[in-house]
Amino acid sequence: MGNYSNAIPNIQIESLLSVSPSKFTDPRQVRRVSADGSSADPFGSDILGGCLSVLLYYNQTCPEDSGWLHAGWIKESLGKALLEQPIFCGRLRKIGANAGDHDKRLEIVSNDSGIRLVEARMPLTLAEFLGSKSLQDAETELVFWKDIDREDPNFSPLFYLQVTNFEGGGYSFGISSSLLLADFLFKELSFLKRWAEIHNNIMLSSPKTESPIYYLPKFKRDVGSTACVFGSSPSKKTGKTAIFNVRNSESKLITSSLALLCVEEIESKLTSDDHKSASEYFSLFVNEPGNVKVEKCSKLGIVKANLGLDKMGVTSSNWDELIGANEVEFRKGNRPVHVSFWVGSVSGNLDQIVMAIPSSEKGISGGKILVTIPNAKQI
């Protein structure tokens, strides 16, 4: 893959629409967001601005294959997949607020408000884009995200999907999810795999000559002729993320002491000044099926564990083991040629974050831990 020019043309946003479950959600799912400690405030936490981004690049496999075609069928396939995980279509809201609560009680309700589907065009071939020297910065334009509005979160989507078409037929799927729901993208819960299966079945059962009802080229004679009126909000990459597996017999998955060990482990391996962190605090939150627990921890106030990570059943992992995106086929036999992952936000200003997700497998204690360390210039 050659090295192309640093210059990446501006992406062109062509459409923006909502996708909701194909049937009304009843009963509604609820996930509470609780602050641990009298001084903790979920609205002041970085998790409200942060998102997990997953970016999958695909080659064109046949003349009729395109991102435009996939985006058209996504309206149907994602609508069916969301029946199984309607929480992605929910919204964050304040609950039971009173003078003593200081608006600290929050919950996500699957009210079928919908995810946002964005269609875009990049005036480069896929090979040119992937070969660009500025790829690491440029690919954030392929994932749409807007931080949650802290004053009025009811109107802030928690999940975005951007389908970008490249010159010559390649395309990408850019997925961004609020960190409050990021665990639903993990391999254990298999949302991406299940959605891809539904998408494949719909495409295979449809005649090759049939295009989806929502197919942008049918409505626009010259795709790309409209200026970007929506305004893309790319999620800036905030630094380095490390992933750990936890296997232990403790009833409590993670303590602040174990979280600090994971933070120190990643800090010890980042010698570059770009990743040196002087932050005294980190945000610890645990994603459980019905609740996200948030805590702001001071490194100076934590009693350090006597054992090392290996003695505590903690081993290193990676993004593909966590999410399995390299195996996701939206057209049978066509796996991604490249996959990127990052934790970010529109502002790019995140403190150190530790996210713990208990295992959903029966009879297995432990789970996953993600640690994100921001660049020094972002602290």
Return all residues near 348 (Cβ < 8 A) that are at least 6 apart.
236, 237, 238, 378
Residue 309: pLDDT above 90? no
CATH of the domain at 226: 3.30.559.10
pLDDT in tens, 161-193: 999 999 999 999 999 999 999 999 987 778 999
Q: Which of 147-156, 160-169, 174-183, 203-212 has the lowest mean pLDDT?
A: 203-212
What's the rounded Cα separation, in Å, for the pair 139 and 141?
Answer: 5
User: What is the average pLDDT value for the chain, to the nearest integer?
Assistant: 83
Does residue 177 lie in a domain region?
A: yes
Q: How far is CA 180 from CA 51, 74, 111, 240, in A?
A: 8, 24, 16, 19
Does residue 248 lie in a domain region?
A: yes
Number of other residues whose CB lies within 10 A of the CB of residue 256: 19
pLDDT at 192: 95
Does residue 5 lie in a domain region?
A: no
pLDDT at 350: 65
Q: How far is CA 311 from CA 36, 287, 290, 315, 360, in A?
A: 28, 24, 30, 10, 23
Secondary structure of 255-321 in the HEC alphabet? Answer: CHHHHHHHHHHHHHCCCCHHHCCCCCEEEEEEEECCEEEEEEEEHHHCCCCCCCCHHHCEEECCHHH
Q: How far is CA 22 from CA 79, 185, 189, 356, in A?
A: 5, 20, 20, 31
Partner residues linked to 172 by β-bridges: 57, 164
pLDDT at 2: 47
Residue at token pair 């991604």: 336
pLDDT at 20: 95
pLDDT at 357: 86
333 Rama class: left (phi>0) / alpha (psi -120 to 50) / beta: left
More confident residue, 218 or 157: 157
More confident residue, 149 or 249: 149
pLDDT at 25: 92
To the nearest 10°, report the CA torsion of 206, 165, 346, 241: 80
**Amino acid at site 169:** G
pTM reported for the whole predicted model: 0.89
Does residue 4 lie in a domain region?
A: no
Return all residues near 296 (Cβ < 8 A) that are at least 6 apart.
37, 39, 40, 45, 281, 282, 283, 284
Provide the pLDDT confidence category of residue 378 given band limits of 50, 70 and 90.
very low
More confident residue, 192 or 285: 192
pLDDT at 222: 56
Does residue 3 lie in a domain region?
A: no
pLDDT at 254: 63
What's the rounded Cα separation, in Å, for the pair 284 and 299?
Answer: 11
Does residue 170 lie in a domain region?
A: yes
pLDDT at 319: 94
pLDDT at 225: 45
What domain count does the chain have?
Answer: 1
Residue 341: pLDDT above 80? yes
Residue 213: pLDDT above 90? no
pLDDT at 1: 45
pLDDT at 71: 94
Of 169, 102, 150, 139, give the one whose Cα is nearest residue 339. Answer: 139
Pairing of strands 236-237, 171-178: unpaired
pLDDT at 379: 41
Among the ranges 7-16, 28-37, 273-282, which has the highest mean pLDDT value?
7-16
Q: How far is CA 158 from CA 210, 375, 376, in A?
A: 32, 25, 28
Angle, CA of 272, 273 and 278, to the nearest 5°:
120
Cis amide bond preceding 21, omega within 30:
no
What's the rounded Cα separation, in Å, for the pair 375 and 379?
Answer: 7
Does residue 2 lie in a domain region?
A: no
Does residue 109 lie in a domain region?
A: yes
Give me the phi and psi of 333, to 5 degrees please: 90, -5
Question: Can you give the residue range of the structural domain that contains 175?
Answer: 12-378
Q: Looking at residues 70-76, what average pLDDT do you find?
A: 94
pLDDT at 65: 92
Both structure tokens of 271:
């010698």
Percent of the chain at pLDDT > 70 equals 79
Partner residues linked to 91 by β-bridges: 109
Q: Which of 30-34, 49-53, 95-99, 311-315 has the lowest mean pLDDT?
A: 95-99
More confident residue, 240 or 364: 240
Q: Looking at residues 56-68, what average pLDDT do you find?
A: 93
pLDDT at 198: 97
More confident residue, 22 or 307: 22
Number of other residues whose CB lies within 10 A of the CB of residue 309: 18
